[in-house]
Amino acid sequence: MWRKLVLYEKDYEHLAKGIASGVGIGTIIGAIIGDVILFFSIGGVIGIIVATILSIFDRFKQKT
């Protein structure tokens, strides 16, 4: 169980890139639409979700 909660170096890299790109894209979209704070937050959350999915996919890929 604890092994699933451990983040490896590659997971941190995915997470950092996911948050940065999500927040960046969210800020740009928010500036265009007019609600920067909302889209900044949504971009960060989507970045975390995508980074988590990529990390899980990489773990399954390495096992096979």
17 contacts 44 by C-beta, under 8 angstroms: no
Predicted pLDDT at 24: 96
Residue 3 binned pLDDT confidence (cut-offs 50, 70, 90): low
Domain ranges of the chain: 7-63
> Can you tell me the mean pLDDT for 38-63?
90
Question: pTM for the complete prediction?
Answer: 0.80
* Sign of CA pseudo-dihedral 22, 28, 32, 37: positive
Percentage helix, strand, coil, to 5, in the chain? 90, 0, 10
How many CA atoms are closer than 13 Å to the CA of 56, on its beta-carbon side? 8
